[in-house]
A and B are shown apart, each in its own frame.
Chain A
């Protein structure tokens, strides 16, 4: 049977100031790691949850995003009547030709302005996005320079409440409604009518076409039909796949988080090592006594390594607790491919906290390895003679 864990727990408690300082050091590293990863995860979740698998997004062949794609009006007309496209209650095909634009708006908190994504869409656009629902005001009416604004954008930018208006493209846009898009990427958008958008911003093309099919199987059939049409030259992908592709945006954040955490963890592992050297140095004779009683080197080694891990895990818990208040906090960043503000929430999941704890464990093992080895290797008599 190993040396009882209560021996380690109480030994840590005896030197509680040093133990606490070390645990806090490890905790801070874990907190930074969890926070940065929560940011990446929040951004990812925003995109992953956005798409509807029944919807197909049509882009110009060779385009990677709506913002760099061009679809002509006659192509939209051709697509509208493709077999397999779902229709609404009035037997109108659920197709929305859309265009992405940027407007510059001032933030409400006075910290300057940012580009905000404006989506020009057809009236079917709202029906195609069941996750979005109006929470205030009404849906926009085409031809009256009206817009609806996502709740997040309305919260973060000036002149975006119902009844207010903002200027862009030599036009005054009136906010008539606020929508909630259930934490999807649409949370970062302002919607206007797409024909109006083309007129005001002088575009003779659309960026993309979003259309509804009967289901995943129907989607595959319609995709084949559209891509096989030589008159079109388009790239068709499910809306879900499109947004999954956009998640690569979180890549640099993940890399930064990992890098930062690794650099900081080296320092924290050394702190743990220092603590363990001090703890073991003060207990050399105890360790000698344990050996005399019959505990083997391996048992001493495991016990002391366990003590270091225990310390680090306490740090890990502290770190997770430090990071936890950030869960659900909304923030924004610049999207790499649209250069517009992307609103999202920090997401601290149990899995992420698990990763944080694993990270703490690694620091504990690295910090405890050498001190535990030194203690276990000391000859019994030398250990007993220590002051």
Chain B
């Protein structure tokens, strides 16, 4: 059997909130295979976003391991982790997080600046990514000139630009109307099915989760019993 792309082993994360210690993740163990599309679900405070942040390398566990393609992300230095994020993770935010003063094309080019690509190659990659999300006619638009759905598609193009190992999305439809949300989810589904992208998505919305191949539920920092059955599908 092929080694899972993401192996999470006994992962815990504690936060200090004033005098109180909060256990956000409690010895979570989970495998995500290459080409999977996992929806992380659970009520607020269940730890799903924390898990996503650790997988994406923007937070560190208190204990346990998060191994992505044989690299234990938690052991990397701050600077190495930044490099790792650039080449392995495409992050899609709930609030899009585009740089407001840069055009759609420039936003998508941003992560490519950290690669060894030439200016022409960067541009070609960024244009291809925007074409993939159906926005080839919006290259020179600033974020404020785009609709919410279009902004999120630019953000997805930015996440895809470096051809990362993993696409992680934190409530990608949370700020969109039903129609735009549907478009974005269909796009993610196509990326998973046709381009083989491995996607981890946090969502509240069962309809959104319905587009995933697998749903993992968290409750009070632990995996729900039915999720455990989904280990290494």
Chain B hits for A384, CB < 8 A: 58, 93, 97
B85 at the interface (CB under 8 A from A): yes
B86 at the interface (CB under 8 A from A): yes
Cβ-defined contact, A292 with B87, below 8 A: no
Chain B hits for A289, CB < 8 A: 93, 97, 99
- Asked, given contacts A1-B114, A289-B93, A381-B53, whether A294 binds B58 with beta carbons under 8 Å apart, the answer is no
Interface SS of chain A: helix, strand, loop or mixed? helix
Measured CA separation A10–B101 after assembly (Å): 6
Cβ-defined contact, A292 with B99, below 8 A: no
A247 at the interface (CB under 8 A from B): no
Interface residues of B in 198-225 (CB under 8 A from A): none
Chain A hits for B82, CB < 8 A: 291, 294-297
What residue of chain B has the Cβ atom nearest to residue A298's Cβ? B79
Which of B56, B59, B82, B83 counts the most chain A CB atoms within 10 A?
A: B82
Measured CA separation A159–B228 after assembly (Å): 107
Measured CA separation A253–B87 after assembly (Å): 59
Interface SS of chain B: helix, strand, loop or mixed? helix
Measured CA separation A11–B142 after assembly (Å): 13
B187 at the interface (CB under 8 A from A): no
B43 at the interface (CB under 8 A from A): no
What residue of chain A has the Cβ atom nearest to residue B86's Cβ? A294
Cβ-defined contact, B114 with A295, below 8 A: yes
Q: How many residues of chain B have a CB within 8 Å of chain A?
A: 25
Cβ-defined contact, A381 with B58, below 8 A: yes
Chain B hits for A10, CB < 8 A: 101-102
B111 at the interface (CB under 8 A from A): yes
What residue of chain B has the Cβ atom nearest to residue A288's Cβ? B97
What residue of chain B has the Cβ atom nearest to residue A292's Cβ? B91
B139 to chain A: closest CB distance in Å? 15
The residue from A14, A285, A294, A381 contacting B101, defined by CB atoms under 8 A apart? A14
User: Residue-by-residue, is A283-308 near B (CB-CB < 8 Å gives 1, otherwise 0)?
Assistant: 00110111111111110000000000
What residue of chain A has the Cβ atom nearest to residue B170's Cβ? A384
The residue from A286, A291, A294 contacting B99, defined by CB atoms under 8 A apart? A286
- Asked, given contacts A7-B99, A11-B101, whether A292 binds B56 with beta carbons under 8 Å apart, the answer is yes
Q: How many residues of chain A have a CB within 8 Å of chain B?
A: 26
B28 at the interface (CB under 8 A from A): no
Chain B hits for A13, CB < 8 A: 101
Chain B hits for A380, CB < 8 A: 58-59
Cβ-defined contact, A7 with B53, below 8 A: no
Interface residues of A in 1-27 (CB under 8 A from B): 1-4, 6-7, 10-11, 13-14
Which of B78, B95, B106, B114 counts the most chain A CB atoms within 10 A?
A: B114
Measured CA separation A3–B106 after assembly (Å): 11
Measured CA separation A11–B100 after assembly (Å): 9
What residue of chain B has the Cβ atom nearest to residue A383's Cβ? B58
B110 at the interface (CB under 8 A from A): yes
B113 at the interface (CB under 8 A from A): yes
Measured CA separation A13–B111 after assembly (Å): 23
- Known: A297-B82, A384-B93; 11 extra A-B contacts, CB below 8 A, are A11-B101, A289-B97, A289-B99, A293-B86, A293-B114, A294-B85, A294-B86, A295-B82, A296-B83, A380-B58, A381-B53
Q: Give 20 A-B contacts (CB < 8 Å), ordered by A residue.
A: A2-B113, A6-B102, A7-B102, A11-B101, A13-B101, A288-B97, A290-B99, A291-B82, A292-B56, A292-B85, A293-B85, A293-B110, A294-B83, A294-B87, A296-B78, A296-B83, A298-B79, A381-B53, A381-B58, A381-B59
